Amino acid sequence: MSQDALLDLPKVVMTGRFWAGIENHRGIVEYSADKIRIAVNSGEIGIHGRNLTIERFNRDEIAIEGLIFSVDFGVPYLEEEVSQ
């Protein structure tokens, strides 16, 4: 089993700026053509772009297509986490 699955961490895989897959998610918080927010164990992941669509959604993965401008992690980090 992979380390991200063992630690229940999200795994984000991107292909260029047109496809993103997110594993270890907790569901969709917000969905529009410009923004998709996904709940993960450590907070949220935001995908911002244009013409965003959900290509696949199941308990293991969410796959998103469209022109992706940015991906952000919606949880503040702690100074000591960065220094490790």
Question: How far out from the chain centre does Cα 29 lie?
Answer: 11
C-alpha span between 21 and 58 (Å, rounded): 11
Give domain status of residue 49, yes or no. yes
- Read off the pLDDT of residues 17-67 as tens digits, 9 standing for 90 and up: 999 999 999 999 999 999 999 999 889 999 999 999 999 999 989 999 999
C-alpha span between 56 and 23 (Å, rounded): 12
Task: Please report, for the chain, how many H helices and E strands are present, in that order.
Answer: 2, 6
Please tell me the predicted confidence (pLDDT) of residue 6: 62
Task: Give the angle subtended at the CA of 6 by the CAs of 69 and 38, to the nearest 5°.
Answer: 30
> Which residues partner with 64 through β-bridges?
20, 54
Residue 68 has pLDDT above 90, yes or no: yes
pTM of the model: 0.81
Give domain status of residue 84, yes or no. no
Q: Which two tokens stand for residue 67?
A: 């022109």
* CATH number for position 34: 2.60.40.2000
